Each structure stands twice: as structure tokens, then as C-alpha cells.
């Protein structure tokens, strides 16, 4: 497997943390677990290098939990999320979530994430020099696009990483300190991903990202729409322009109280927003979010 710097560069230039050949060669069927395919049930696949190496993994479904326990000897695989939730929300530093496009290269389209790479790198460096303590980075735990970059760049900074992803995403999983398998198909993880961080930074993204920011706003989480490059018209970056009832604010406190996003159109502006944050106010909704996450991750039969 390539080193972290090589993975970051591949993500920046193609949207893939690993080459297609490397990723496909590592995919195996999760024993006894199936997803609904076009022609009926088909085996759920997982990355046989990444998934067994994740230090701590939560799977509310008993079926998925048992299968993951079987392929992860010596690793912590839990079905009850109580300990995870308590430790996550008891951290004193800020919990930052990242949302955005999680698409990699294919033979026809070319994906490039230099703007997001530079923005994330600048944000992590700024928080370190400004004394903003990051005690958790939360994302979609996949090795593609924005979630791939947020996880690898956070790892490079030595930060605690947490990912939420559906069963379908285990085939494209990326290393995180803690990983929650939520639901089966893409989008099922949105309530967990959006409901955990104190701040959710959205860099582009489509329907799934919209579900994540809606979950965050419902719980009083500060959402920042960071438009660092031109995004397609159906991106959440253009959400305020697509619906007359959608609103954004430039003032952080006004946005937080009104449960609407803050817009940022440059890295400099994004860093300025972070300088203006009141951490105590951001953490004030953690009890509510902990209760929400307990419902989302409740053990399933």
C-alpha cells in the first residue's frame, strides 16, 4: 500500500486514495451479508486491507456486527454505541465534520480536488497556529474526494478521525480511528455524520451532502458552505439559490441561532469564520446531539 503522502497526492489529482487496481484487488465478500442488487441479493464487499485494520468499529446491525467480528480478530468491534458516544462528546476541543463530493476518477470523467486539498490543509494549519484545539474530525470514511482528503490530512496532523458510512461503502473504506457502519446504502449515514460535529464544513456535494447538512442544522450545528471553486448547479453550494425559502447568513451567531448555513467563498474567509467562533456556544448542543446519535446508532436485530 502506498504511503500517506502518495495517497494525498492521488486524492488531490484524481479523487482516489488508492488506484483502481489496488482497490479492486483487495475487495472480498463479507461472510453471510448481502445487499440488494439489480438482479437480486449480492454479497456485500469490503476492503480486506483497510476494514480489518480499523482500531474500533461500530455496527448496530447484529448480522453485520457478527460478520465484522469474524474478519477482525483482535480488533474492537462493537454493537452498542454508548461508550463511543460518551467519549466523543466529552472531548474538550472542537469536533469538525466535513462533507462534499466523494467521487473519484473513471475512464471518462476526470476529478480534481486541488481547491479542497488546499482549503483543508490551510484550515488544519490555521487551527494549530491559532490555538483552536481540534479533538475530532468526522466524515464519510471513504477513500474518495473530500472525505478522503479530510481523513488523510487529519491523519497527517495527528488528529482523531471518525467516519460514518453505510454497509455499501465498506468496499471503498478508508482508515479511521473509529468507524461507524450506519445503514446499508449511501445516504443512510447522513443523520450520524451530520449530527455529530460541532461544526460541519461542506465543500460541494450532492443529495447525500444535503441530507448531512439538513441533519446538522436541525440539531443546531453550525454549517459552513465553503465554495472554494466552481461547483455544478445541483451542488449544495448553490442550495440558497435553488429554493426561495433557503437562507444563509454572514454572521456566525445569527446563522447558528436561525439554523441556517454560513457562506464562505474563499479560504481566507473560511479561516476568519473559525477565528470568530465561540467554542462554548458550539458545544452547548452536545447533549442533544448525543441523544440523537444514540437513536441513530441503536443496536438492531
CA distance 127 to 263: 19
Q: What helix, strand, coil percent values describe the chain, rounded to 5?
A: 45, 20, 35
Strands 94-100 and 134-139: parallel
* Structural Rg of the chain based on CA atoms: 18
Give 102-125 pLDDT, tens digit per residue. Answer: 987 766 667 899 999 999 999 999
Over residues 165-170, mean pLDDT: 97
User: Which pLDDT band holds residue 249 (cuts at 50, 70, 90)?
Assistant: low
pLDDT reading at 1 higher than 80: no
Span of 33-42, 44-53, 127-136, 142-151 with lowest mean pLDDT: 33-42
pLDDT one-digit tens code per residue, 199-212: 999 999 999 999 99
Cell digits of residue 113: 480536488
Residue 150 has pLDDT above 60, yes or no: yes
* Residue 18, pLDDT score: 94
Residues ≥6 apart with Cβ < 8 Å to 11 = 17, 113, 117, 143, 144, 145, 148, 149, 152
SS3 154: helix
For the segment 182-236, what is each residue's pLDDT rounded down to a tens digit?
A: 999 999 999 999 999 999 999 999 999 999 999 999 998 999 999 999 888 888 8
- Using a pLDDT cut of 90, give the percent of the chain over it: 79
122-151 exposure pattern, b = at least 16 Cβ within 10 A, e = fewer: ebbebbeeeebebebbbbbbbbbbbbbbbb
Q: Answer whether 0.95 is exceeded by the pTM.
A: no
> How many Cβ atoms are within 10 Å of 167's Cβ, its own excluded?
26
Which pLDDT value is given to residue 244?
Answer: 45
**The predicted structure's pLDDT at residue 242:** 53
* Domains of the chain and any CATH numbers: 4-296 (3.40.50.450)
Using CB atoms within 10 Å of the CB of residue 233, give its burial: 0 to 12 exposed, 13 to 18 middle, 19+ buried. exposed
Task: Quote the CA–CA distance of 84 and 94 in Å, as a whole number.
Answer: 16
Element of type H or E holding 199:
strand 199-203
Amino acid at each position: 500500500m502506498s504511503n500517506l503522502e502518495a495517497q494525498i497526492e492521488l486524492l488531490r489529482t484524481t479523487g482516489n486514495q488508492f488506484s483502481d487496481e489496488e482497490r479492486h484487488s483487495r475487495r472480498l465478500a463479507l461472510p453471510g451479508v448481502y445487499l440488494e442488487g439489480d438482479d437480486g441479493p449480492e454479497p456485500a464487499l469490503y476492503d480486506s486491507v483497510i476494514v480489518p485494520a480499523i482500531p474500533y468499529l461500530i455496527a448496530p446491525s447484529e448480522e453485520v456486527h457478527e460478520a465484522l467480528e469474524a474478519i477482525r480478530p483482535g480488533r474492537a468491534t462493537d454493537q452498542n454505541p454508548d461508550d463511543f458516544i460518551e467519549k466523543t462528546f466529552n472531548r474538550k476541543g472542537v469536533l469538525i465534520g466535513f462533507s462534499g463530493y466523494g467521487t473519484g476518477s473513471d475512464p471518462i470523467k476526470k476529478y480534481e480536488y486541488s481547491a479542497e486539498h488546499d482549503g483543508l490543509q490551510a484550515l488544519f494549519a490555521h487551527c494549530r497556529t491559532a490555538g483552536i484545539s481540534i479533538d475530532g474530525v468526522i466524515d464519510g470514511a471513504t477513500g474518495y474526494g473530500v472525505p478522503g482528503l479530510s481523513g488523510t490530512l487529519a491523519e497527517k496532523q495527528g488528529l482523531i478521525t471518525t467516519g460514518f458510512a453505510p454497509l455499501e461503502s465498506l468496499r471503498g473504506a478508508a482508515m479511521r480511528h473509529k468507524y461507524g457502519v450506519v445503514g446499508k446504502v449511501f445516504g443512510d449515514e447522513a443523520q450520524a455524520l451530520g449530527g455529530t460535529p460541532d461544526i460541519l464544513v461542506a465543500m460541494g456535494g450532492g443529495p447525500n451532502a444535503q441530507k448531512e447538512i439538513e441533519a446538522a442544522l436541525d440539531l443546531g450545528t453550525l454549517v459552513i458552505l465553503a465554495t472554494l471553486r466552481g461547483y455544478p448547479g445541483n451542488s449544495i453550494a448553490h442550495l440558497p439559490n435553488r429554493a426561495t425559502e433557503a437562507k444563509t447568513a454572514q454572521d456566525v451567531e445569527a446563522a447558528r441561532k436561525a439554523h441556517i448555513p454560513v457562506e464562505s467563498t474563499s479560504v481566507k474567509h473560511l479561516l476568519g469564520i473559525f477565528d470568530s467562533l465561540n467554542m462554548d456556544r458550539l458545544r452547548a448542543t452536545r447533549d442533544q446531539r448525543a441523544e440523537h446519535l444514540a437513536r441513530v446508532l441503536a443496536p438492531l436485530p
